[in-house]
Amino acid sequence: MKINNFISWLVLLFLISTTNSFAKETKVNYRLKWLFNTSVAGDIYADAKGYFKDAGLDVDVREGSPEKNAINELELKRADFGVASADQVIRALDKGAKIFVIAQLFQTNPMQWIYRTDQPEIKTLQDLKGRLIGITFGGNDETIMNTLLAKAGIKKKDVAITGVRFDFTPFFMRKVDVWPVYRNSQGVILKERLAKEGEDVYFFNPADFGVNFVANSVVTSEAMLTKNPDIVQKFLNALLKGWEAAMDPANEAVTLEVVKKLDKGNNDEIRKKQLNATRILIKPSVSIRIGTIDSTAWKQTETMMLTEKQIKNPVNIETRLIQLK
């Protein structure tokens, strides 16, 4: 009888402990900037390996797209954290958004343009003249291309700009000469597909011409940062732990496996090449800590946007960069 009572007591204790454990988990919504693939490997890894749960957080990691703007969702209280590019952040601040940057994921911007090698190589910005250039209106690439053209003194009439979406058919059919891609995702896919058809490609990298826009960073609202600093710190610690693990070459097989479960559009070979390309952009050297905010690059980005009248007033971006430990 005593044994039965002892067992019942243990079961009750376990149930209470489990209930308390679940009760401690704080619900958090996290909106990515892009689709589930290797470009968000660290986000996927942190969730799949239970890093968020270990921190007492129940995080809903949601896919992103041009139609799903993380900053808008922060303002509408549909998300607690999100991923946004620097131009999105600065434009939002210019319009009065109360947001902060708490980590910079990409140390090098993956936004580039792809074009075939049977076209003249773009060696100077003047070589953009006469090209039919694709951009995503309202996207990071539009900001970058406008800055490039202005930097070179190229007038809009000297180039042909056309809006593009996710459908690459116009590029394959040669209806668009220069197509915007993220070098570590669509860039890998398009390069591989054209290689099978006997075609090679160039990549036009804005950084080679002095335009270094900051890319994807983690943002949160002023309210979340001031009212729940402990949640912010726990979330960021777990997230960056996931990115460090996912970018470690020693964990490559595990990283590819967890990404594969969500990325249904690519094969194993493509994912591996995408992961290698992403690793260089996230952690270009072993000395760089993932998440490090490059305040100089942010200030340069704001200056370029002001110069090109892409924002009306200075936003003093340095006051909105919070490098958490």
pLDDT in tens, 297-309: 999 899 888 887 8
Model confidence at 10: pLDDT above 80? no
Q: Are residues 197 and 230 in the same domain?
A: no
pLDDT of residue 286: 87
pLDDT of residue 135: 95
Q: Which of 67, 276, 253 is nearest to 191 (CA)?
A: 276
**Does the residue 14 lie in any domain?**
no
**Does the residue 17 lie in any domain?**
no
Q: Are residues 161 and 46 in the same domain?
A: no
pLDDT of residue 19: 40
**Does the residue 130 lie in any domain?**
yes
Between 310 and 320, the higher pLDDT residue: 320
Q: Report DSSP letters for 72-117, one per residue.
A: HHHHTTS-SEEEE-HHHHHHHHHTT--EEEEEE--SS--EEEEEET
Q: Are residues 115 and 196 in the same domain?
A: yes
pLDDT of residue 207: 85
Q: Are residues 265 and 167 in the same domain?
A: no
**pLDDT average, residue stretch 184-192:** 92
Reported as a pLDDT band with limits 50, 70 and 90, residue 12 is: very low
Model confidence at 138: pLDDT above 80? no
Q: Are residues 115 and 187 in the same domain?
A: yes
For the record, the structure tokens of 91 come out as 């434009």
Domain count, the chain: 2
pLDDT of residue 211: 87
Model confidence at 316: pLDDT above 80? yes
Reported as a pLDDT band with limits 50, 70 and 90, residue 269 is: very high
Task: Count the neighbouring beta carbons within 10 Å of the beta carbon of residue 50.
Answer: 11
For the record, the structure tokens of 23 come out as 């009760």
Model confidence at 22: pLDDT above 50? no
Q: Are residues 225 and 262 in the same domain?
A: yes
Q: Are residues 251 and 166 in the same domain?
A: no
Task: Work out the end-to-end distance of the chain between its first and last CA atoms, rounded to an integer number of angstroms.
Answer: 54
- In this predicted model, what pLDDT tens digit does every residue of 56-100 receive, in sequence order? 999 999 998 877 889 999 999 999 999 999 989 999 999 999 999
**Does the residue 294 lie in any domain?**
yes
pLDDT of residue 229: 96
Domain harbouring 171, CATH code: 3.40.190.10
pLDDT of residue 3: 45
Q: Residue 58 forms beta bridges with which residues? A: 27
Model confidence at 9: pLDDT above 50? no
- For residue 78, give its domain range: 25-108+214-320
**Does the residue 19 lie in any domain?**
no
Reported as a pLDDT band with limits 50, 70 and 90, residue 7 is: very low
**pLDDT average, residue stretch 174-192:** 93
| Percent of the chain residues topping a pLDDT of 70 | 93
Domain boundary among 209, 227, 246: 209
Domain boundary among 194, 209, 224: 209
pLDDT of residue 2: 45
Q: Are residues 148 and 184 in the same domain?
A: yes
For the record, the structure tokens of 207 come out as 């950084």
For the record, the structure tokens of 225 come out as 């940062």
Reported as a pLDDT band with limits 50, 70 and 90, residue 25 is: confident
| Percent of the chain residues topping a pLDDT of 90 | 74
**Does the residue 252 lie in any domain?**
yes
pLDDT of residue 1: 45
CB 108 within 8 A of CB 281: yes
pLDDT of residue 325: 75
pLDDT of residue 89: 96
pLDDT of residue 30: 98
Q: Kind and range of the H or E element at 57? A: strand 57-62
Domain boundary among 143, 177, 209: 209
* Neighbour-count burial of 271, counting CB atoms closer than 10 A to its CB (0-12 exposed, 13-18 middle, 19+ buried): buried
**Does the residue 132 lie in any domain?**
yes
pTM metric for this prediction:
0.82
Which alpha helices (H) appear in the chain, and where do they start and end?
2-24, 41-48, 51-54, 70-75, 86-94, 140-152, 169-172, 186-196, 222-227, 229-247, 252-260, 268-282, 295-307
How far is C-alpha 40 from the chain's CA centre?
7
